[in-house]
Amino acid sequence: MRKMIIAGNWKMNMTNSESSELVKSLVEQIGQVENPLVIVCPPYTALSVVKKLLDGSNIFLGAQNMYAEQSGAYTGEISPSMLLTIGTTYVILGHSERREYFSETDRMVSAKVKLALESGLLPIVCVGEKLDERESGKTEDVIGSQIDGSLADLDADDMKKIIVAYEPIWAIGTGKTATPEMAQEVHSFIRGRLKDRFGDIADEVTIQYGGSVKGDNAAGLLSQPDIDGALVGGASLKVDQFVKIVNSV
Ligand code: PGA
């Protein structure tokens, strides 16, 4: 059985005091939930504060990015070993905002994925097509090459530790969600691609959907056979919305 996983990507939001307030409410309301597995990904500055408040709950800590080196002269970057020392378990890699605003390529994402795994962090690897790519019928080409490029040189054992997040770029932060059927089609394509590359382990890989997931549309998306959770941006900053999403599994 695949694990259902709901992750909140707080992006560049939340001071430490706002983070504390948010996470205290989450722990109170969904701190003991075991299915789905719940992850929160605060900004780097709030990771330690949030980790302390999560202790004793079932909610896991994730980071939003990392650099593909363990240490050195890389001003402004954060390494996997640093994330591990403060109790981070998961790390989002290759988010479309990283790809778009910080020019991250599949090659860079792949290097990060490999170092994350070697270090003991569990990656959430994001893929997704732009609106014009969808409209010109290139969705599968784009997603297929992102999957191949971002998950290069891995084996089936590595794949057991990876979560894939399908996030159509046109649906992120726009209020436009893919219909459950549209999302299912791509999720099934991704699983097929993983099966070709890694074999039957593909049936065990959690594939999350992301892009304007809210309390009201989560149940429809999560009832699709190949949608195994959600990566939630805007709605993860609102306690009632995020709780509703978690409870709709
Ligand atoms: P959104 O963001 O839920 O605000 O659309 C999702 C994401 O970018 O992970």
42-63 pLDDT per residue, tens: 999 999 999 999 999 999 999 9
pLDDT digits (tens, 9 = 90+) for 129-144: 999 999 999 999 999 9
Ligand 1 pocket test target in 212, 216, 237, 242 with most atoms within 8 Å of CB: 212
94 within ligand 1 shell (Cβ under 6 A): no
pLDDT digits (tens, 9 = 90+) for 90-117: 999 999 999 999 999 999 999 999 999 9
Q: 37: domain range?
A: 5-247
Confidence class for position 176, pLDDT limits 50, 70, 90? confident
Beta bridge partners of 230: 6, 209
**CA of residue 24 relative to chain centroid, distance:** 22
Q: What is the predicted pLDDT for the residue at 150? A: 98
Three-state secondary structure call for residue 240: helix
Rounded to the nearest integer, the mean pLDDT of the chain is 97
Using alpha carbons, select from 39, 134, 54, 132 the residue that is nearest to residue 86.
54
Segments in the chain forming alpha helices (H):
16-30, 47-54, 80-85, 96-101, 106-119, 131-135, 139-150, 156-159, 180-198, 218-222, 239-247
The verdict on whether omega for the bond into residue 180 sits within 30 degrees of 0, i.e. cis, is: no
Q: What is the predicted pLDDT for the residue at 58? A: 98
Q: What is the 3-state secondary structure (H, E, C) of 5-19?
A: EEEEECCCCCCHHHH
- Judge whether 13 and 46 are in contact, CB under 8 Å: no
Share of the chain above pLDDT 70, in %: 100
Of all protein residues, whose CA lies closest to atom 3 belonging to ligand 1? 233
CATH of the domain at 97: 3.20.20.70
Count of domains in the chain?
1
pLDDT digits (tens, 9 = 90+) for 214-249: 999 999 999 999 999 999 999 999 999 999 999 999
213 within ligand 1 shell (Cβ under 6 A): yes
95 has catalytic annotation: yes
Q: What is the predicted pLDDT for the residue at 131? A: 94
Q: What is the predicted pLDDT for the residue at 86? A: 97
Gap between the Cα atoms of 96 and 233, Å rounded? 12
Ligand 1 atom with least separation from CA of 213 = 3
pLDDT digits (tens, 9 = 90+) for 150-169: 999 999 999 999 999 999 99
Q: What is the predicted pLDDT for the residue at 177? A: 85
pTM for the predicted model, two decimal places: 0.98
Gap between the Cα atoms of 98 and 105, Å rounded? 9
DSSP 72: S
Confidence class for position 75, pLDDT limits 50, 70, 90? very high
Gap between the Cα atoms of 41 and 60, Å rounded? 9
